[in-house]
Chain A
Amino acid sequence: MLVTAALVACLVAGGCSSGDRLFPPSPLHQTFPSPDELSRAVLAALADEDADHLHSLALSELEFRTVVWPELPSSRPERGLPFDYVWGDLNQKSTNALRRLVARHGGRRYTLAGVAFRGETTPYETYRVHREAILDLVDEEGNELTLPLFGSILERDGEFKLFSYVVD
């Protein structure tokens, strides 16, 4: 109902562009109070080789559409980029990266020692993105490792959510 109302309002107001909020922001699911907690959730699911749970820890299409997309520069109407292009491309890359992650690290039990970010933190209107997460880990043999197991982390209202599994 809310979606319909928003759509009507948008159309009445003179047309909907890709950057308008056609949908009210979705609540983010599977969020955590810190990057460390989020990372521990990823590691636990990885140890269990639970690809479905790992998938759910990253942004869903609805979350990307309603929370992220309206505030991205690439959603501005003059850029002419359809949402489907951007989401489809990111989702494809993230899904591929997740498959590789499970293949390489699935079943391994890592202990988290810390989370750092190699990239910048980008502020948007209602959220921030901490880019290029790097995890300091200890494996079962006690070896210390530093691994980029996933990509960026989104922060909104003090909650943290995995942006994607894309690691460049």
Chain B
Amino acid sequence: MTGIAMRRPARRALAAGVLAAAAAWGAATVSTQANINCEPGDGMQRCIVSGRITSDTTFTADSLWLLDGAVFVDEPARLTIEAGTQIFGRSETNGTLIISQGAQILANGTAEAPIVMTSDVEVGERARADWGGLIINGRAPLNVPGGQGEGEGGTGIYGGDDPNDDSGHLYYVRVEFAGTEFSPDNELNGIAFQGVGRMTEVDHIMVKLNKDDGLEFFGGTVEVKHVICFAIADDSFDWTDGWQGKGQFLIAMQMGDDADNGFESDNNGDNNDLTPRSDPTLYNVTLIGDPYDFPGDESDIGMLLREGTAATIRNFIITGFKEAAIDIDHTATFAQVTRGNLTLESGLVFGNCIVEGCRGEFNPDDDDAEAAISTMDFVTGAPNVYMMDPVLGAPSYLCAFCPFDLIDPARNFAPRETSPAVTGMVRPSVPPNDGFFDVANFIGAVGPPGSGQDDWFMGWTDFSLN
């Protein structure tokens, strides 16, 4: 039971009730929708979904679901997805799932039976950008002029004035091989949270091998927990336009064939001081870059903080990024540092800045020279932040390239017994007791055995590369 679920038991019961009702209703329910066509398959019924879903609908686990083109769930419809359901984005038609403002997705995966949204290409041939991904449009605030934005690829309006907006929930969901390319320089994110409100629950999600960012937050207040972004081609986590949510237990693991930053963190690119300002609160973060030349020379910066973002970041690990661990850009961002609105505490930074020409863990540049405090002074002066090996993953005699090994099944994000993340050498920050955060007395996204957070990334995830 997670903190999120305990916080709102009534909602969860409601969701369970809806699920049970839908299950009793059965497949005949969905077949009445004109844009859902089901036919018997080899063993499992196959349902092709297209167009707009305008009434409550259930994707059942006893069928395979194919998204044919952009599939919108429109207000007031709720799309319920049973545990274990497999949803395929049709590569030929850029299959994409879009939850419009006022609609809801109720994704009821479990650790034993996660919901998988993946490519319809044959296993072994799957690749980034095979299909679109998941887009959720809410009515929470953002800071673009007028308070509303228009989603990428004509995927609808998002943003509004309700920080408590509720787009449903995502429990144990994997989004794989998505991020279709519209043209060079323009791809979709794995999951785009666009003006999504904090009553939306997100717990245990994985985005794998996406062509653009793994998760991107365009404003909003949504809170996320237990997230893995694996081998993402652009930024693993990206926020902009005034995201004011929370996050805990966040892992990024990059593959250097195509990767940018662990965090790319912006307020607003056109006016760095627009409000509401991006100001997330994030605890227990592990950002693992790819320090090797093979399969490629990318994987740049652990945390790129810029364009006026504020943030509270605690209990973090950054390791293996080729250019730098942390880089702060733009005067408005440094202003957030000096005002105490952009703060770091309790972290381990190690083994970043690997390529020729890089300028150290904290990438001193023009912005640093002009700022009242440089990135290096800011980070090294932060409480309980040390440049020490976090000692993650299996020991080298079991896994030579851990914690950076992308394919060895011995891969493990957990700190070993000798890690300063768990020995008390680095004092963790205590998360707020606000109903969202879990108690976590360690540094990084994964705790030691007995912490209750040592294996949350196992079982429901999948790290295969194609």
Chain B residues 226 to 275 lying within 8 A of chain A, measured CB to CB, are 234-235, 258, 260, 269-270
A93 to B216, CA, bound (A): 15
Contact: A89 with B152, CB < 8 Å? Answer: yes
Please name all residues of chain B whose beta carbon is closer than 8 Å to the beta carbon of A74 when the two chains form the complex: 94, 180-183
Residues of A within 8 A of B (CB): 64, 68-69, 72-74, 76, 78-82, 84-86, 88-90, 93-94, 96, 99-100, 118-119, 122, 129, 131, 146, 151-152, 163-164, 166, 168
Residue in A73, A84, A151 whose beta carbon sits within 8 Å of that of B185 in the complex:
A151
A87 to B186, CA, bound (A): 10
Please name all residues of chain A whose beta carbon is closer than 8 Å to the beta carbon of B213 when the two chains form the complex: 168
Contact: A96 with B184, CB < 8 Å? Answer: no
Please name all residues of chain A whose beta carbon is closer than 8 Å to the beta carbon of B182 when the two chains form the complex: 72, 74, 81, 85-86, 89-90
A74: min CB distance to chain B, Å:
5
- Kindly state whether residue B409 has any CB partner on chain A within 8 Å: no
Residues of B within 8 A of A (CB): 69-70, 92-94, 152-154, 180-186, 212-213, 234-235, 258, 260, 269-270, 297-298, 357
- Closest residue of chain A to B357 (Cβ to Cβ) is A146
- Closest residue of chain B to A72 (Cβ to Cβ) is B183
Please name all residues of chain B whose beta carbon is closer than 8 Å to the beta carbon of A85 when the two chains form the complex: 153-154, 182
Contact: A96 with B185, CB < 8 Å? Answer: no
Contact: B183 with A68, CB < 8 Å? Answer: yes
A89 to B153, CA, bound (A): 6
For B186, B297, B357, the residue with the greatest tally of chain A CB atoms inside 10 Å of its CB is B186
16 new A-B contacts at CB < 8 Å, known A90-B182, A96-B270, A168-B235? A64-B183, A68-B183, A74-B181, A74-B183, A78-B92, A80-B70, A89-B152, A89-B153, A89-B154, A93-B185, A94-B185, A100-B269, A129-B184, A131-B184, A131-B185, A146-B357
Please name all residues of chain A whose beta carbon is closer than 8 Å to the beta carbon of B234 when the two chains form the complex: 168
A24 to B365, CA, bound (A): 47
Please name all residues of chain A whose beta carbon is closer than 8 Å to the beta carbon of B235 when the two chains form the complex: 168
Please name all residues of chain A whose beta carbon is closer than 8 Å to the beta carbon of B186 when the two chains form the complex: 86, 89-90, 93, 164, 166
**Nearest 8 A/B pairs, CB to CB:** A166-B185, A151-B185, A85-B154, A164-B185, A129-B184, A86-B182, A152-B184, A90-B186
Please name all residues of chain B whose beta carbon is closer than 8 Å to the beta carbon of A96 when the two chains form the complex: 269-270
A3 to B428, CA, bound (A): 67
Inter-chain contact count A-B, CB under 8 Å?
A: 77
A99 to B268, CA, bound (A): 12
Please name all residues of chain A whose beta carbon is closer than 8 Å to the beta carbon of B185 when the two chains form the complex: 90, 93-94, 131, 151-152, 163-164, 166, 168
Please name all residues of chain A whose beta carbon is closer than 8 Å to the beta carbon of B184 when the two chains form the complex: 122, 129, 131, 151-152, 163-164
A93 to B270, CA, bound (A): 12
Contact: A99 with B270, CB < 8 Å? Answer: yes
Contact: B270 with A86, CB < 8 Å? Answer: no
Contact: A78 with B93, CB < 8 Å? Answer: yes
Pick 13 A–B contacts, CB within 8 A, sort by A: A69-B183, A78-B93, A79-B69, A85-B153, A85-B154, A86-B153, A89-B186, A96-B270, A99-B270, A122-B184, A164-B185, A168-B185, A168-B213
Residue in B70, B154, B258 whose beta carbon sits within 8 Å of that of A88 in the complex:
B154
A72 to B70, CA, bound (A): 18
A119 to B258, CA, bound (A): 8
Contact: A168 with B270, CB < 8 Å? Answer: no
Residue in A79, A82, A94 whose beta carbon sits within 8 Å of that of B92 in the complex:
A79
Please name all residues of chain B whose beta carbon is closer than 8 Å to the beta carbon of A68 when the two chains form the complex: 183
Please name all residues of chain B whose beta carbon is closer than 8 Å to the beta carbon of A122 when the two chains form the complex: 184
Contact: A168 with B93, CB < 8 Å? Answer: no
A89 to B234, CA, bound (A): 18
A131 to B233, CA, bound (A): 13
Contact: A86 with B69, CB < 8 Å? Answer: no
Please name all residues of chain B whose beta carbon is closer than 8 Å to the beta carbon of A118 when the two chains form the complex: 297-298
A129: min CB distance to chain B, Å:
5
Please name all residues of chain B whose beta carbon is closer than 8 Å to the beta carbon of A88 when the two chains form the complex: 154
- Closest residue of chain A to B181 (Cβ to Cβ) is A74
Please name all residues of chain B whose beta carbon is closer than 8 Å to the beta carbon of A146 when the two chains form the complex: 357
A160 to B456, CA, bound (A): 50
Please name all residues of chain B whose beta carbon is closer than 8 Å to the beta carbon of A69 when the two chains form the complex: 183
B199: min CB distance to chain A, Å:
29
A2 to B347, CA, bound (A): 64
- Closest residue of chain A to B152 (Cβ to Cβ) is A89
- Closest residue of chain B to A150 (Cβ to Cβ) is B185
A146 to B181, CA, bound (A): 26
